[in-house]
Amino acid sequence: MEESLRYRWLTLRRPEMQVHVALPRRVIAGSVFLFAVACGGGGKETAVDRGDRLLAAGHAEAAVAEYKLALRQLGPEPEILLRLGHSFAVTGDVEASLEYLRPLLESGSEYQFQVAAELSQAARVARERGSPDNMARAMEPVLSLGIGMVPEDLRYPLAQYYAELSGWNRAIPLYLAVLEAEEPPSEAVLETARAFQEVGGCREALAYFERYLETASRRSRAEIAWEYGSCLYEVAMADRAQGRPGNASDRLDLLIDQGVPRNLLDKAHYNRGEIRLQFGDLAGAESDFLAVLELNPVRTGPLVRLAEERIREIRFGVR
């Protein structure tokens, strides 16, 4: 690991308390000097000291006032910005936390882990308070650093948040990260399938539908049959058009076996019949074309005439 990403815990000791701040090694020496100066040689309690003491006692607002005083006295030092960001994070004030933490991200990568941790805390508080918008707002800078910076406990709620807003391109990477867990929620598997389906990725969606169906109850299987069947048909048609009739036939088998969506069954039988003709399975093809007629008892469906022509061709060798 590069030196800039290694962290030690710098401990600022006073008789009544200890405060731990994660800092890069290469800035520890300068930080020690800074705080030694700020402490007036070690004898007088500073604004930072008072803020740390107040925050440890649960008085966040009073601590913020002291940290802001330190900010005016010392300028935007990272240790002060981190304290301010943390103070607002634990109270759930996302915008204020961002105000002080975002400059640390913009200055480089040295503080990205601390900033990500503080903003994740702000997101948790927002979620607990029933504010998904603030949760997502807090995590936007973290997401910009990569999915790997998002804590595991926030990936699923964030994915669901973006999915509810139809933000599929944001939701899908988060869902995929959720599924990397050893035992992801089964609903997350299904939601991943639906997310892919929404962006036209039925081929990808099928893998997750089938993964979900492996452990789904009969009732759950029935509830997603329409979505699964629609993707089966779409991918089957793509396979057939791309010269993979065997794959197409396999998917049509699954669709016909489950019997849903019913509005696609005559199309599924007709196309499977065409594939069977291609492979020389005349009996199987005739069975599929007859099924097209059975599914259109009043003989008005668009595939009726085509199916009747195929049946005559198979039986009598003429169109």
Residue 243 backbone phi and psi in degrees, to 5: 80, 30
Please answer whether residues 64 and 83 qualify as being in contact, where contact means their C-beta atoms are separated by less than 8 angstroms. Answer: no
The CATH class of the 151-210 domain is: mainly alpha
Q: Name residue 111's beta-bridge partners.
A: none
Residue 22 is predicted with a pLDDT of 43
pLDDT value of position 1: 33
Residue 236 and residue 264 in contact, taking contact as beta carbons nearer than 8 Å: no
Q: Which CATH number fits domain 217-319: 3.40.50.1000, 1.25.40.10, 3.90.1310.10, 3.30.70.360?
A: 1.25.40.10
- State if pTM tops 0.75: yes
pLDDT digits (tens, 9 = 90+) for 76-117: 999 999 999 999 999 889 999 999 999 999 888 899 999 999
Q: What is the CATH number of domain 1-141?
A: 1.25.40
Residue-wise pLDDT tens digits, 154-200: 999 999 999 999 999 999 999 999 999 999 999 999 999 999 999 99
- Percent residues over pLDDT 90 in the chain: 81
CB 228 within 8 A of CB 209: yes
Per the listing, tokens 């509830």 go with 223
Q: What is the mean pLDDT of residues 52-75?
A: 95
Phi/psi of residue 7, nearest 5 degrees:
-125, 140
Cis peptide before 261 (omega within 30 of 0): yes
Delimit the domains of the chain by residue range. Answer: 1-141, 151-210, 217-319
Task: Say what the pLDDT of residue 14 is.
Answer: 32
Same fold across 1-141 and 217-319: yes
